[in-house]
Amino acid sequence: MTHENQLKRIEQFHELHESGCFILPNPWNPGSALYLQHLGFKALATTSAGFALTRGLTDAGMTLEIMLAHVRDIASATSLPVNADFQNGYVDEPHAVANSVSLCVQTGVAGLSIEDSTGKADAPLYEFDLGVERIQAARQAINKSGLPVVLTARCEAWLVKHPDARKIALERLVAYADAGADCLYAPGVRDIDYISDIVKAVSPKPVNVLVSSSGPDLNFRQLEDVGVRRLSVGSALARVAWSAFMRAAKEINEEGTFESLDDIAMSMELNKLFSST
């Protein structure tokens, strides 16, 4: 990808965050990215968990090298802005985060996220000060690159089931905004009033909300009404595909029947889609 093309996508991605609300779906391979583009979505985000499943791994099994190659594949497959689900940068120390982020920027992304989850059961979140320093390092690396990639800072307090998640997430997202994050994100939050509190606390910076299942409060209009700028679905679309595959495979193995194959995408339709890209 040329510098000019990447810069154009970055500008488009920034514009999407300026007003209203948009959906940022998460493909797990180039084919799913192209289909989401075909449907008319304005931008895409990778899913580390969804991609890991394609390799028979968990999120914890991903490495920096594997993820950089995957992000590059997605960014190259589509003409849309792509946000990289970059986990914790695959490193701990701020100077190493800066190096990882620099490498990620070079893949052609328009945005990337850095989270404060350590992956360690005994200390699932980085200490507050280190978490802030990591976001500062990511910001500095992006600034140094000359490409204003959108930096999303994630607080994982809800996903790691921290007993004081409400307090910790709000404090950290405010601090991450002050540290240079362009967008703030606390995956796992489902309470609409608390989401509204986050939006107000980090305003005017935009907030991303994860919607990985249905619920009375987590629909587009209600989230837009409280000021959320961006909705993503994480690994949910990948797991939808896995669910269909698992049902069909179990039926074939356990029943010796093939009814699950009756209502599937046609090869002709898919070939037509991909031959036109």
CB atoms within 10 A of CB 215: 11
Query: What residue ranges define each of the domains in the chain, with the CATH number in brackets?
Result: 3-235 (3.20.20.60)
* Mean pLDDT rounded to a whole number for the chain: 96
In tens, the pLDDT along 222-266 reads 999 999 999 999 999 999 999 999 999 999 999 999 999 999 999
What is the distance in angstroms between the CA of the first residue and the CA of the last residue of the chain? Answer: 16
User: Number of helices (H) and strands (E), helices first, in the chain?
Assistant: 11, 8
Q: How far is it, in rounded angstroms, from Cα 251 to Cα 169? A: 43
Amino acid in position 160:
V
Report yes or no: 220 and 21 within 8 Å, Cβ to Cβ. yes
pLDDT tens by residue, 168-200: 999 999 999 999 999 999 999 999 999 999 999
pTM of the model: 0.96
Kindly tell me if the per-residue pLDDT of 277 is higher than 80: no
Please write the tens of the pLDDT for every residue from 96-151.
999 999 999 999 999 999 999 999 999 999 999 999 999 999 999 999 999 999 99
Interval 45-67: pLDDT, tens = 999 999 999 999 999 899 999 99
Rounded to an integer, the average pLDDT of 11-26 is: 98
Above pLDDT 90, what percent of the chain?
Answer: 94
Q: Is the pLDDT of residue 83 over 70?
A: yes
Instruction: Report pLDDT for 213.
Output: 86
Q: Give kind and range of the element (H or E) at residue 152.
A: strand 150-154
